Amino acid sequence: MAGTMEGTSRPTTRSAIEIADIVESINGRDAGKLFIVIGIESQYSFLADGKRRRFEKPKKKKNKHIEPRSKADYSLLAKLIGGEGVTNNEIRRALAKYVAAHG
């Protein structure tokens, strides 16, 4: 079947990952965990969860190893795009809000 991964009916195309997106890790020891994209460089995204991976030391992960879940709130997006730092508490709060809304 064209456009799908072998053995599944899931499309292989993914939506573009952007700054402030909430993503889920699909590979590695952090598989299943949620992060916020705080930076993008070529085929890599820099991810933070505000706890283990803090804003000051984000996780560098290939885009093919993460799956977009949602957009973050606009205040977080504006701060990240504007070059302002965000606090780890703001990152945790945005992820908690997403989990509360989507289970």
| Domain boundary assignment for the chain | 21-102
pLDDT of residue 4: 41
What CATH fold (topology level) applies to the domain 21-102? SH3 type barrels. (2.30.30)
Closest CA to 12 of 3, 1, 2: 3
pLDDT of residue 14: 56
Angle between helices 88-102 and 74-81 (to 10 degrees): 140
Mean pLDDT for each 10-residue chunk of the chain (103 residues)? 42 71 96 96 96 96 96 86 91 95 86
Tokens matching residue 91: 């990152």
pLDDT of residue 84: 84
pLDDT of residue 6: 44
pLDDT of residue 72: 78
